[in-house]
Amino acid sequence: MADYDIEKIDDFRWRLPKTGGMRVPAILYATEDMLPDILSDDAPQQAKNVAHLPGIVKASLAMPDIHWGYGFPIGGVAAFDPDDGVISPGGVGYDINCGVRLMASKLTVDDLDRRSRERLVDHLFRRVPTGVGSSGAMRVDDAELQRVLQRGAEWAVNDGKGSQADLDVIEEHGRVGGADPDAVSGRARERGLDQIGTLGSGNHFLEVGYVSEILDERAARVMGLNKGTVTAIIHSGSRGFGYQVCDDALSDMDKAMKKYGIELPDRQLACTPIPSPEGQKYLAGMRCAINYAFANRQVMAHNTRLAFEDALDLSPREHGLFTVYEVAHNIAKFEKHTVNGSKQEVCVHRKGATRALPAGHPLVPGRYQKVGQPVLIPGDMGRYSYVLVGTDRAMEETFGSTCHGAGRQMSRRKARKTAGHRNITAELANEGIVVRGQSDRTVREEIPEAYKDVTDVVKAVEGAGISKAVAQLRPLGVIKG
């Protein structure tokens, strides 16, 4: 374990002070019980490395689901001055705009017996392609793809896959401006033609579950979440398209850093000044990938509704599946925040972190104005997930950010080794959870014990006051890549 010079701020905050070339300190959000596991990883060192980047303001932040990532830690948040700061693809990640949508229905857990759960999960597995390089939900030509890249979820809704009610409750309404298809390579566009509406692999999933516990009656009621309500969670991103955009930009920036005199402790932090040609090209391409991911989840949400109708022989009115909210995890955006006592625009990188805006914030959808923006925190496929809301404290401390999930505590290799010859699908079936995976390997890599207990993560962010729990959800069925 690395020997970190760590200072306790309070029961939920820890400081890694400025040393060497760090321009700001790193602040870690966690309970004391979580620290040994977190410090046994290289992720805290990555949080310190981020603090070296030019133009970073306030601090390099790490949420309690922190674990090792490419360059930036997953669970990392950092904001940069738009004139003197940098943009770093590693601060967004390869899966640009990986994110989560929560849907809720009129059904209750008592409406889904064992056979109907199995039928529903089987239909979802057919409707939503999974696995590495998966395709087949739909295919677009290059001209149509350009419209996807510029219009995001709005493109899917205009194609009959959803409604304005969906767009109203997606972060950024499912579309960011400034996306320029000419900024992405031909290889990226080629990879994007046939992957819209697909889940992908790794930790991506589509889960049917139910509300098992209400923790904030008022906020839950506003979100349409009652105890027993059947829900669906979609976790996926920008697939091969976003991966290629990131890969292309990392190559460009690695070559350009010397030109700008940027020296860093880790080449994976490759970056260029935000106003530079390389920085502007990445921003334009990244925004295309953001919109691609928004469209991807919108198409999957549409096909999830169709799966409910086919599997359960219900009309749209009878299942009533509506979008509660959708948040982005891997994204960089220009936002206004208070820095050193005054409001200024900064470029916030969230890498495995969630936007968490408080009640009354102008970017919170109208129906959530009095309770705050929903924050969706998936756990693992065997235990539970949480719904929270953003707080004023998050705006003051973390650029309106909080955690994004349970966070891995085992590598995929270690998870496979731990799973050994166990039949994970049968184990979960005994718990009443139906699992369908593209491969047994993926299911083994995603065993529940590969992740931290998400309750611990939620306790840490609640204790720090940067978000507030609303409801707990438990799984009934999951499809995995």
Q: Domain 7-480: which topology?
A: tRNA-splicing ligase RtcB (3.90.1860)
Residues for the chain: how many in total?
481
Q: Locate tokens 């979820």: which residue?
A: 153
**What is the per-residue pLDDT for 1?**
60
pLDDT range class, residue 439, cuts 50, 70, 90: confident
Q: What average pLDDT does the segment 20-39 reach?
A: 96
pTM of the model: 0.97
CA–CA separation, 99 and 169 (whole Å): 14
**What is the per-residue pLDDT for 183?**
98
Q: Which amino acid is at 85?
A: G
Q: Report whether pLDDT(453) > 90.
A: yes
Q: What average pLDDT does the segment 58-84 reach?
A: 97
Catalytic residue among 349, 361, 404, 421: 404
Q: Report whether pLDDT(205) > 90.
A: yes
**Tally of CB atoms within 10 A around 69:** 21
pLDDT range class, residue 3, cuts 50, 70, 90: confident
CA–CA separation, 211 and 386 (whole Å): 9
Q: Report whether pLDDT(239) > 80.
A: yes
The answer to whether residues 478 and 448 touch, using CB atoms and an 8 Å cutoff, is no
Judged by average pLDDT, the poorest of 75-79, 273-277, 394-398, 412-416 is 412-416
Q: Three-state SS for 80?
A: strand
Q: Report whether pLDDT(53) > 80.
A: yes
User: First and final CA of the chain: distance in angstroms?
Assistant: 33
- Work out the percent of the chain whose per-residue pLDDT is above 70: 100
32: which 2 tokens? 């004391």
The answer to whether residues 242 and 331 touch, using CB atoms and an 8 Å cutoff, is no
Closest CA to 67 of 94, 47, 50: 47
- Work out the percent of the chain whose per-residue pLDDT is above 90: 93
Instruction: For residue 434, give every residue at least 6 positions away whose Cβ sits within 8 Å of its Cβ, in sequence order, or none.
Output: 117, 118, 121, 428, 476, 477, 478
Binding site for Mn(2+), by residue number, is 95, 204, 235, 329
- For the segment 252-273, what is each residue's pLDDT rounded down to a tens digit? 999 999 999 999 999 999 999 9
Has 302 been annotated as catalytic? no
What does the angle CA 175 – CA 176 – CA 179 come to, to the nearest 5 degrees?
115
Binding site for GMP, by residue number, is 203-207, 329-330, 378-381, 385, 404-407, 480
The answer to whether residues 75 and 27 touch, using CB atoms and an 8 Å cutoff, is no
Binding site, by residue number, is 95, 203-207, 235, 329-330, 378-381, 385, 404-407, 480
- For the segment 101-139, what is each residue's pLDDT rounded down to a tens digit? 999 999 999 999 999 999 999 999 999 999 888 888 899
- For the segment 36-49, what is each residue's pLDDT rounded down to a tens digit? 999 998 999 999 99
**What is the per-residue pLDDT for 438?**
83
**Domain boundaries defined on the chain:** 7-480
- For the segment 294-306, what is each residue's pLDDT rounded down to a tens digit? 999 999 999 999 9
Which residues, in sequence order, are bridge partners of residue 402?
Answer: 354
User: How does DSSP classify residue 160?
Assistant: T
**What is the per-residue pLDDT for 172?**
97
Which residues, in sequence order, are bridge partners of residue 170?
Answer: 326
β strands within 187-329, DSSP E? 205-214, 229-236, 272-273, 322-328
